Amino acid sequence: MAAREVVERYLELLANKDVDRAGEHLAADFIYRPEGDVRVPKDHYLTAVRAIFTALPDFALYISGWQVADDHVSVQVGGEGTHTGTFAYPVPGFPVVEATGNRVHRPPFEWVFTVDNDQIVELVFHMVPGASARDMLRQMGADIVES
């Protein structure tokens, strides 16, 4: 399967909030790099994705700007939803935020996938202002202090 097909299938499952099946497209040694030198293993990444969909059950992904170079696929992904569930992000120092009913908008930013043997082995986020988990928490109504 071509790298783009693997990523398209993964994002389709993610957009449908089928996190378990989407996770099957991630290699056992998958690494998520949300910013800088931070490296997050597969299980922690999937827990974070589930936390977003629990807090924002109507969260819709907006996907555009596909670019493919061999085993690397770059795409712009944004999204929005309503905070109607509890947000419990699995990161130390992040507060649990009960439902507020606030709309949350995550502007499009670049997701870069590396694919090997029909599995996603790495996902790197290139954040833009307003796209971080902290930004999402602020929109939910949480008091967030920058570290």
Q: Which range marks the domain in which residue 71 is found?
A: 3-140
Q: Does a structural domain hold residue 102?
A: yes
Q: Does a structural domain hold residue 43?
A: yes
Q: Does a structural domain hold residue 47?
A: yes
Q: Does a structural domain hold residue 85?
A: yes
**Of 15-19, 75-79, 131-135, which range is least confident?**
131-135
Q: What is the dihedral of CA 79, 131, 54, 9, to 10 degrees?
A: 50
Q: Is residue 147 predicted with pLDDT exceeding 60?
A: no
Contacts of 67 (CB under 8 A, 6+ apart): 73, 74, 75
Q: Does a structural domain hold residue 16?
A: yes
Predicted model pTM = 0.93
Q: Does a structural domain hold residue 146?
A: no
Count of structural domains, the chain: 1
Single out the residue of 55, 70, 71 nearest to residue 103, CA to CA: 55
User: Domain holding 133: CATH number?
Assistant: 3.10.450.50
Q: Does a structural domain hold residue 84?
A: yes
Contacts of 144 (CB under 8 A, 6+ apart): 95, 134, 137, 138
Q: Does a structural domain hold residue 147?
A: no
31-78 residue pLDDT tens: 999 877 889 999 999 999 999 999 999 999 999 999 999 999 999 999
